[in-house]
């Protein structure tokens, strides 16, 4: 075929049933070929079928549902706009986070150029009155977080009677964040004749249950992860360092020195860890920013503006705060804390190595987390390289290479006539090679310091699993016997009066020690080391905490969810 011949391929948007106006928009945006999720879902949605799609972030799924919504609703949107009447809300997209709501709304607005469709994002942390005014002017398509959507529904500022198309985007994330009841309430309030599409990176039983309740004989689509062709370098290089928890800050500093990322996101388990690590990395010369649920929305927006403007070296965040973020050209993802679910690891790692670029996923793994690392390898069907933390000699060699590169750049650039006289004067007294070596030494020490780092010893894996381990729980007071363990005695001595909290969820709900530690530390804002022994029974759990913190923890957990469920929390009556 000659180069000038333009025959549509099987992957062209023109083969999917889109209108000429939408094809023109897609072409103007520079899209040439549809992604697998777009090829499979667009024709199905245009035909009016309900859809259950398994597709990860970064596969092009926003366009996969946005383009059909625009095409199906455009006649109504144009009619409403021309008549001057308030447009009824006919399309709705539910997403887990504010950031994703803004991104999806912006994308739909971009695709809907020229259609007169009005797109309104609804999310928490923004002015309710401003959103009410936008809805009052007319919203053909609403992109909303479940909580804020319900707020508007209850105020009757968002009416669902005319909804024809509804999309649940990143449904598994919404359930993880505790929106199950909100989603049910919203879907129950929409017409039964609507078309519904559910997109989720994973399809656990609870997602299938929502599908069974609210979707009408859906067509199921699964977008497989791309496989790397034989002989090609994988897009995401995966490396794990086995390291003791107390050595993680120093290890991260050293690893980043060796990796020299252009942009990186570092995932921590709790808000406290995020703030502590930001202080540490800033003290080490990095431009680090925090992102977590404890921040005001204005502060979160300011952080993301600096990140997108490439004014930040490291974004240090919790999982929940980082959901929905789309950061271009992310070179590294760092699991400072390994996530408790292998699927979460996949989602995190998928943020780098996109669009054919290479990326690196680094994990700092505690000795007790070996089995979780194996579970991740089993899920991804890929081996994760086990590496040792760079030694002091490795670090010094790397820094010397950086100094060498800087000197080479200066030599190529020239412009050092003003200092040549110094070299000539020293050359009369010393060997010229010694003069050059001394200059390199001075330059190296000025940027790399005096090399006073200590070696980081490899941990000895004893096979024991500490309190917050993901695979099995701690030795509880009952399991340990009347005297308890030495660790428990030390804990009680360090915190003073200890009480046990009774939490109304246990093994039957899939609760594990890591869930309890993460919830208590994250919601109540206390350090994880302040949490004592944990005992998980079939229907309830017991957690030791300092007496002085108990009331604050109880109040915080009552407002939160655990594994997507509201829980009962009180002081243990048997204590």
pLDDT tens per residue, range 325-342: 667 678 899 999 888 777
Average pLDDT over residues 124-131: 86
> What is the C-alpha to C-alpha distance for residues 35 and 446, in angstroms, rounded to an integer?
49
Q: Which CATH class is domain 477-571?
A: alpha beta
77: confidence class by pLDDT, cuts 50, 70, 90: very low
- What is residue 403's three-state secondary structure? helix
Strands 141-144 and 119-122: parallel
- Could you tell me if 141 and 90 are in contact, meaning their C-beta atoms sit under 8 angstroms apart? yes
According to the model, what pLDDT value does residue 342 have? Answer: 78
135: confidence class by pLDDT, cuts 50, 70, 90: very high
Contacts with 476 (C-beta within 8 Å, 6 or more apart), sequence order = 533, 534, 535, 542
Superfamily of domain 236-390: P-loop containing nucleotide triphosphate hydrolases (3.40.50.300)
Statement: residue 484 has pLDDT above 60: no
What are the structural domain ranges in the chain?
Answer: 13-222, 236-390, 393-447, 477-571
According to the model, what pLDDT value does residue 296 have? Answer: 79
According to the model, what pLDDT value does residue 398 have? Answer: 66
Helices (H), 53-204: 61-83, 98-111, 128-137, 146-155, 171-176, 180-188
Least confident of 61-65, 358-362, 423-427, 543-547: 423-427
Residue 457 is given by DSSP the state P
In whole numbers, what is the pLDDT of the chain averaged over residues? Answer: 79
Q: Which CATH class is domain 13-222?
A: alpha beta
Average pLDDT over residues 493-517: 79
68: confidence class by pLDDT, cuts 50, 70, 90: very high
Least confident of 68-72, 363-367, 371-375: 371-375
Q: Which residue has the higher pLDDT, 559 or 224?
A: 559
Average pLDDT over residues 445-455: 58
480: confidence class by pLDDT, cuts 50, 70, 90: very low
Residue 201 is given by DSSP the state S
Whether 236-390 shares its CATH topology with 477-571 is answered no
φ/ψ (deg, to 5) at 73: -100, -10
């Amino acid at each position: 075929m000659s180069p000038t011949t333009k025959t549509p391929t099987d992957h062209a948007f023109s083969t999917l049933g889109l209108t000429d106006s939408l094809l023109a928009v897609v072409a103007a945006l520079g899209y040439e070929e549809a992604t697998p999720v777009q090829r499979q879902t667009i024709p199905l949605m245009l035909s009016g079928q309900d859809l259950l799609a398994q597709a990860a972030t970064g596969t092009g799924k926003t366009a996969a549902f946005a383009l059909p919504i625009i095409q199906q609703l455009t006649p109504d949107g144009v009619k409403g706009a021309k008549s001057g009447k308030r447009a009824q809300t006919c399309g709705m997209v539910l997403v887990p986070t504010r950031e994703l709501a803004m991104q999806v709304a912006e994308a739909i607005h971009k695709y809907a150029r020229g259609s007169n469709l009005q797109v309104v994002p609804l999310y928490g942390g923004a002015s309710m009155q401003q959103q009410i005014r936008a809805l009052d002017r007319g919203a053909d398509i609403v992109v909303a977080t479940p909580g804020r959507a319900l707020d508007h529904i209850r105020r009757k500022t968002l009416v669902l009677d005319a909804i024809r198309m509804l999309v649940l985007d990143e449904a598994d994330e919404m359930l993880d964040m505790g929106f199950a009841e909100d989603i049910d309430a919203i879907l129950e309030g929409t017409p039964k004749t609507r078309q519904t599409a559910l997109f989720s990176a994973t399809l656990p039983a609870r997602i299938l249950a929502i599908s069974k309740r609210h979707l009408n004989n859906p067509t199921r689509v699964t977008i497989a992860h791309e496989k790397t062709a034989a002989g090609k370098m994988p897009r995401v290089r995966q490396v794990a360092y086995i390291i003791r928890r107390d050595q993680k800050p120093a290890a991260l500093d050293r690893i980043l020195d060796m990796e020299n990322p252009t942009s990186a996101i570092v995932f921590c388990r709790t808000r406290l860890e995020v703030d502590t690590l930001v202080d540490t990395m800033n003290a080490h010369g990095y431009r680090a920013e925090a992102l977590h649920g404890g921040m005001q929305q204005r502060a979160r927006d300011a952080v993301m503006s600096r990140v997108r403007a490439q004014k930040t070296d490291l974004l240090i965040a919790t999982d929940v705060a980082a959901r929905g973020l789309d950061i271009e050209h992310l070179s590294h993802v760092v699991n400072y804390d390994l996530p408790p679910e292998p699927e979460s690891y996949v989602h995190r790692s998928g943020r780098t190595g996109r669009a054919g670029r290479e990326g690196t996923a680094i994990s700092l793994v505690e000795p007790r987390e070996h089995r979780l690392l194996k579970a991740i390898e089993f899920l991804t069907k890929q081996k994760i390289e086990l590496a040792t933390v760079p030694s002091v000699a490795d670090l010094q060699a790397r820094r010397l290479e950086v100094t060498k590169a800087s000197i080479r750049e200066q030599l190529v650039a020239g412009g050092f006539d003003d200092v040549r006289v110094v070299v000539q004067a020293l050359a009369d007294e010393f060997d010229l090679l010694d003069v050059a070596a001394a200059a390199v030494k001075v330059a190296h020490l000025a940027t790399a310091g005096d090399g006073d780092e200590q070696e980081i010893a490899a941990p000895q894996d004893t096979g024991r699993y500490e309190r917050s381990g993901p695979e099995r729980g701690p030795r509880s007071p009952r399991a340990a016997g009347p005297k308890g363990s030495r660790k428990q005695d030390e804990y009680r001595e360090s915190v003073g009066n200890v009480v046990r909290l009774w939490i109304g969820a246990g093994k039957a709900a899939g609760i594990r020690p890591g869930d309890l530690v993460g919830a208590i530390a994250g919601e109540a804002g206390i350090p994880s080391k302040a949490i004592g022994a944990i005992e998980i029974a079939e229907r309830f759990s017991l957690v030791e905490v300092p007496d002085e913190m108990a009331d604050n923890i109880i109040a915080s957990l009552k407002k939160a969810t655990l594994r997507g469920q509201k829980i009962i929390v009180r002081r243990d009556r048997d204590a």
